[in-house]
Amino acid sequence: MKKFGKLLCTIFEILRYVLIFLGIFIAQSLSPSTTDMRFAIVTLFFVLGISGLTGLESVFLRKYASKQSGYGDGGRYQIQSGLNNLSVAITAVIAYIFKWGTQAELVLMSVMIIFILLSGFNHYLSSVKDGNKSIKNLSRPIGSVVLLVVVLYYMVPVLVK
């Protein structure tokens, strides 16, 4: 089971990037479409890929995910954090099903990107203060900034119109 758990965490990590790139690809393929539509697509894929998969990983694979990040064995608090991420992803699905619109998508994306930035900062502090030099831990701060830039590319046109 240990190897299977590690493998699933690795698959989730790859799947996050696949969903992000798929969302970007689909949004860009709709180039004559509106900026609202592109942002809606990117939001759904980003929130499900990041918040959804992180939530599932934190709830069901916490021991393996924690070890890969260099955080120990995980615990009940990690489950609580995972449930928060899952709630954001579930809310995104509900927002799309019931067509809550651009304002809801802006809120969902804002919550997710703020979490990503704070999480990146937490990973940075862990590497500096705790000496946690795992690859996952070291890559998170840089990845957070890259993700912010990509999100802003789709978000700013929606905000300024």
Show Cβ contacts of residue 61 under 8 Å, excluding neighbours closer than 6 positions. Answer: 5, 8, 9, 12
133/146 Cα distance (integer angstroms): 20
Sign of CA dihedral 9, 11, 13, 19: negative
Q: Can you give the pLDDT at residue 137? A: 79
Which tens digits make up the pLDDT trace of 40-51? 999 999 999 999
Q: Can you give the pLDDT at residue 64? A: 86
Smallest CA-to-CA distance from 119 within 135, 137, 134 is with 137
12/94 Cα distance (integer angstroms): 22
35/106 Cα distance (integer angstroms): 12
pLDDT for 82 beyond 90 = yes
Q: Tell me which range, 4-8, 132-136, 153-157, is most confidently predicted by mean pLDDT.
A: 153-157
Mean pLDDT of 130-149: 89
Domain ranges of the chain: 2-155
Sign of CA dihedral 128, 14, 43, 154: positive
**Helix-, strand-, coil-residue percentages of the chain, each rounded to 5:** 85, 0, 15
106/43 Cα distance (integer angstroms): 8
